[in-house]
Structure 1
């Protein structure tokens, strides 16, 4: 916990005549003495209810690379039964959504031969120790999971760098039907670019800011298809007249842009949400600006509460400058929670978790996320001197702190990922409540620890009932579409202030009267956005 925030709480307690609590130590894997579990007494008034997601990937172990842990279940990740059982657990407990990260590439590092030839190689540890390898396609299992549970939503990561807007729009619209409106899209421009460009037959990594320019156009085109492709009353389904769909109410979409061109009809009928609930996970300046325009939920991964508060405020300011309600975008931080019956038991469990992966495996994971090969650098090199075109957010998490390559390498297993919370269930509930209040986040993504069906059990059984008692979670699980559940909107559709609303029929799309575009209508590319 940031020292200034802690001192502010101590002053408030002193002014109220209450004794100081035992000193709170931020969870950075330093041992905390017994009994020092609580932060300042959390306020219990006007607490906003939090949204909760589970942070997963179709890989043997994610973030922690903890699959060697004795309690993990690494073999189950490839089968549907594993994910169905996890979905049942999360749904019954009241989680709002299951969030699937994804990686299309894998870590690669540069090698220079004695003759000066530059090649890129996959470190052996990536394959040997399952560093986000193998990783399977999460879109393929969502419909099977949605059929298993009635309320839980599903957020799937998909890349604007590797996909085509039409194909991706078709898949997500189909999933919105199959999930009854419980699907979300986490919009990313992809990490692990070095491998990805080779897998796609390209030559060079696209610069960071240009990837976001492409993403802007990509999302606009999907919005045109989802929001502008069909009028609400296009489906007739009249057997007597043999009219299934009114042709005049299916609209031709025409787009000519810098990165994409398209001309035709969108073949998927209107679903409950039309547009999947839009997440965005980039925390660079370009990523935040992109999120301020299109995102309904923003995923951040900040370890330090003071920095998280600054990030949240910056995102909300950018949203407001776009003419949107600053609180309409829900901001969700990832946290890693390890719970024990005592502080000592929890700290021992945290140490076992951080000991599970090897140093080289965690360095490879950092390489994949950031594009920086720490093992190939002088350990004395200041982290602040490094730059990357691949994973600026991950690298930035370690900059501005006086860290060196060696010090970061030594603590990757302890620090990679979001905020670390370790202690009793009551301590974890206190920390979550304090984080929510002091950072103004709207919810949390709970990182899996070692991987396996038992991963969330302690959190579900110990922490969630306490959060519910404090009014931070609803008494009963929320229902409805994912958009309604997360944003509180009264309708499954995008709100009128979202730029996607500007692509609806009458706002720039051309009608389709029997195959010819309406000459009086402007092309879809002229629509707002």
Structure 2
């Protein structure tokens, strides 16, 4: 059985997928404090997690005319949310092993400034940072909050994203040779100009001419994550991503998607095993199966039906609450969240049925039971799907989400050979791939390395 990798799936806010901030066991009031996240980082680091993953929400769910969803604001659906990259150095100073992954958008950001921030954090964390690349699902927020002129079509966002990443790779890999920072006091030579290269890029979306101001960080390029599930998104992920986040809930479909992504990677000239596939995992653990089932039901019903409708709108652009509850989604089209919408376009499923089902189906695999049963279920998922690991989804919030898993399930996984005897160390890329701190030779970014 393979060793799996483990990440914790969070957002810098009081609630996320489960929307369970109102659950009796939830205590997320400290989400605006560094101490709250440092406590979580310390627990994950000591427990043997490989990384802490932060999703991002640049906006909140909005209707088609750009009006804020009142239920989203009132009940806390992707609102409020802090910016995550600002947290990372404060967390990395707390722990010396745990990696961090931060989401930023190729639709909302600029390549130069985004690259500069990640290079800085890669230096300050000694190579423990990853970039989760998204094109932004909430296009209404792009218009209303960031001043974009209109909703950017799905495929156009991916064209921009490909150019954005390509330019970022030129900056990270193609500007500084190793050893260019010489700092020779006697000759007043800080940089060896023979080993510093100007970057030239003139593309459809971006133009850049100049020198990148940051010398190579431990990874040069942060470890690249991506989570697109549409056909275009999967092609993008298999081209650039080193770790792909998927959200399957069916074993057969999960196995098929893992195989498809590896085959797509091979078609792009990459080793199929060079990309790691991690699936979302929602955990409920109790002393008995009966207690676990009750706890799962409490977690499932914590968010209101309306709140889940608002979350669906933020991710897909489709306002279920405004549609006829007896209609279906079969003919609905969207420029965002296409793969999510497709999951609910069964012509026999009404809008009302979708609203009823969302609380049970949002997110990845739902694993419920005693510690032994949970370990059995995880082992079965790995065996059947061949996933490389999991992102444990934020449930009730804070350390409570992970405590029993760390204390009672991870030792069982370790004894079964699913986790290494000792937690992994090194840069994030080394921990996840077992290879070098730098991009492998078959990654498209390696062609720019000087």
Q: TM-score, normalised by structure 2?
A: 0.98
- Report whether the alignment pairs 1:60 with 2:14: yes
Give SS of 1:195's match: helix
Question: 1:250: how far off?
Answer: 1.2
Q: Which residue in the other structure is 1:213 paired with?
A: 159
Q: Alignment partner for residue 57 of structure 2, among 81, 97, 103? A: 103
SS at match of 1:137: coil
1:419 aligns with 2:365: yes
Pairing of 1:30-41 with structure 2 (within 5 A) = none
Aligned residues of 1:67 and 1:450 also touching (Cα < 8 A): yes
Q: Is the CA contact (8 Å cut-off) linking 1:302 and 1:397 kept in structure 2?
A: no
- Indicate yes or no: 2:132 matched with 1:186: yes
1:163 match: 109
Compared CA separation, residues 436 and 384, structure 1 to 2 (3 A): farther
Counterparts of 1:502 and 1:302, CA distance in 2: 33
Superposed CA deviations along residues 268-320 of structure 1, whole A, max 9, x for unmatched, are 11111000000011010000000111111100011111111111111111101
Separation in 2, partners of 1:389, 1:310? 25
| Structure 2 residue matching 1:141: 3-state secondary structure | helix
* CA distance in 1 between partners of 2:106 and 2:291 (Å): 43
Would you say 1:485 and 2:431 are equivalent positions? Answer: yes
Provide the secondary structure at the position in 1 that maps to 2:133. strand
What are the superposed Cα offsets for residues 156-204 of structure 1, whole Å, 9 maximum, x if unpaired? Answer: 0010000000000000000000110000000000111112222121221
Are 2:218 and 1:264 aligned?
no
Contact 1:383 1:402 in 2 (8 A): no
1:229 CA drift (Å): 1.0
Worse overlay, 432-441 or 48-57: 432-441
Structure 1 gaps, min length 5: 1-46, 111-118, 506-529
Matching of residues 74-473 of structure 1 within 5 Å: 74-110=28-64, 119-400=65-346, 402-473=348-419
The CA distance in 2 between the partners of 1:211 and 1:88, in whole Å, is: 37
- Structure 2 distance, partners of 1:51, 1:383, is 36
Alpha-carbon distance in 2 for matches of 1:483, 1:150: 15
1:157 & 1:413 partners in 2: Cα distance? 24
Distance between the aligned counterparts of 2:146 and 2:66, measured in 1?
15
Contact conserved, 1:305 with 1:439, CA < 8 A, in 2? yes
Q: Tell me the CA shift for residue 431 of structure 1.
A: 0.9
What is the distance in 2 between the residues matched to 1:270 and 1:229? 9
**Corresponding position of 1:14:** none
121-130 or 217-226: bigger deviation: 121-130
Q: Would the aligned equivalents of 2:309 and 2:320 in 1 still touch at CA under 8 Å?
A: yes
Q: Does 1:72 align with 2:26?
A: yes
Question: What RMSD in Å do the two structures reach over aligned CA positions?
Answer: 1.1
Alpha carbons 1:298, 1:332 under 8 Å: kept? yes
Instruction: Specify the SS of the correspondent of 2:66.
Output: strand
In the TM superposition, residue 390 of structure 1 has moved relative to its aligned partner by: 1.1
CA distance in 2, matches of 1:161, 1:197: 11
Per the TM alignment, residue 449 of structure 1 is displaced from its structure 2 partner at its CA by 0.8
Return the offset for 1:332: 0.5
Post-superposition offset of 1:383: 3.0
Deviation of 1:400 after TM superposition, in Å, equals 4.5
Q: For 1:139 and 1:449, how far apart are their aligned partners in 2?
A: 22
SS at match of 1:383: coil
Deviations 1:232-272 (A, max 9, x none): 12011222222221122111001100000000000011111
Give the conservation status (yes or no) of the 8 Å contact 1:103–1:191: no
Q: Is the 8 A contact 2:66 2:144 kept in 1?
A: no
Residue 439 of structure 2 is aligned to residue 504 of structure 1: no
Determine helix, strand or coil for the equivalent of 1:385: coil
- Cα deviation, residue 365, structure 1: 0.7
More displaced 10-residue stretch of structure 1: 241-250 or 92-101: 241-250
CA contact (8 A) 2:328 2:347 kept: no
1:50 aligns with 2:4: yes
Q: Secondary structure at the match of 1:158?
A: strand
Aligned residues: 450
Task: Give unmatched runs, 5+ long, in structure 2.
Answer: none
Q: Is the 8 A contact 1:71 1:452 kept in 2?
A: no
How far does residue 401 in structure 1 lie from its aligned partner after superposition?
8.0
Larger Rg: 1
